[in-house]
Structure 1
Amino acid sequence: MANRDVRTFFSGGAYFEGPRWRDGNWWVSDFYRHTVSTITPDGRETVIVEVEQQPSGLGWLPDGALVISSMKDHRLLRFAGDGLTPLADLTEHCGGHLNDLVIDAVGRIYVGDFGFDIMAGAAPATTSLKRVDPDGTVTIVADGLHFPNGSVITPDGTTLIVGETLGNRYTAFDISPDGSLTNRRIWAEFGAIPTGTTTEEVIPQLAVAPDGCSLDAEGHIWAADAVGGRVVRVAPGGAVVDEIRAPDGLGVYACALGGDDGRTLLMCAAPDFYEHLRAPTREAVLLAVGVDVPHSGRP
Structure 2
Amino acid sequence: MPKRELSVLASGYTYLEGLRWRDGRLWASDFYTEQVIAVDLEGRIEQICKVPQQPSGLGWLPDGRMLVSSMKDRKVLRREADGTLVVHADLSVLTGGPINDMVVDALGRAYVGNFGFDLMAGEPVATTGVVRVDPDGSARVVADGLCFPNGSFITPDGKTLIVNETFGNRISEFDILADGGLGPRRDWADFGALPASDDLHTLIAASAIGPDGGALDAEGALWVADAIGKRIVRVARGGRILEQIDTGELGIFAAALGGPDGRTLFMAPPRAFTGATRRATPEGRTRAPRGAGPPAGLP
- Which category describes the TM-score, using the shorter chain as reference length? over 0.9
Q: Which residue of 2 aligns with 1:93?
A: 94
Q: Which residue of 1 aligns with 2:209?
A: 208
The one-letter amino acid of 1:145's match is L
**Larger strand fraction of residues:** 1
Q: Which residue of 2 aligns with 1:118?
A: 119
Q: 1:293 to 1:26 in 2, by over 3 A?
A: closer
Give the Å deviation of 1:203. Answer: 1.1
Deviates further, 65-74 or 75-84: 75-84
Give the Å deviation of 1:82. Answer: 2.7
Aligned-partner Cα distance in 1 for 2:218–2:198: 39
Give the Å deviation of 1:4. Answer: 0.8
Deviates further, 142-151 or 266-275: 266-275
Aligned-partner Cα distance in 1 for 2:62–2:235: 29
Aligned-partner Cα distance in 2 for 1:292–1:135: 36
Deviations 1:164-197 (A, max 9, x none): 1111111111111100101421010111134333
The one-letter amino acid of 1:219's match is G
Aligned-partner Cα distance in 2 for 1:292–1:56: 24
Deviates further, 235-244 or 187-196: 187-196
Q: Does 1:295 align with 2:295?
A: yes
- Deviation above 6 Å: which 4+ runs of structure 1? none
Deviations 1:217-263 (A, max 9, x none): 0000001000001111010001111011114x342101000111111
Q: Does 1:139 align with 2:137?
A: no
Q: 1:88 to 1:190 in 2, by over 3 A?
A: same
Q: Which residue of 2 aligns with 1:53?
A: 53
Aligned-partner Cα distance in 1 for 2:273–2:15: 7
Aligned-partner Cα distance in 2 for 1:153–1:201: 31
Q: Does 1:245 align with 2:246?
A: yes
RMSD: 1.0
Q: Which runs of 5+ in 2 are unaligned?
A: none
Deviations 1:116-149 (A, max 9, x none): 0010000000001000111111111000100000
Give the Å deviation of 1:202. Answer: 1.6
Aligned-partner Cα distance in 1 for 2:45–2:12: 11
SS at match of 1:115: coil
Q: Which residue of 2 aligns with 1:276?
A: 276
Aligned-partner Cα distance in 1 for 2:238–2:47: 39
Aligned-partner Cα distance in 2 for 1:74–1:153: 22
Give the Å deviation of 1:58. Answer: 0.2
Q: Does 1:9 align with 2:12?
A: no
Q: Which residue of 1 aligns with 2:172?
A: 171
Q: 1:55 to 1:188 in 2, by over 3 A?
A: same
Paired residues, number: 298
Q: Which residue of 2 aligns with 1:71?
A: 71
Aligned-partner Cα distance in 2 for 1:145–1:207: 17
Q: Which residue of 2 aligns with 1:222?
A: 223
SS at match of 1:200: helix
Aligned-partner Cα distance in 2 for 1:59–1:98: 14
Give the Å deviation of 1:292. Answer: 3.8
Q: Which residue of 2 aligns with 1:153?
A: 154
TM-score in terms of structure 1 length: 0.97
Aligned-partner Cα distance in 2 for 1:125–1:226: 18
Give the Å deviation of 1:7. Answer: 1.4
TM-score in terms of structure 2 length: 0.97
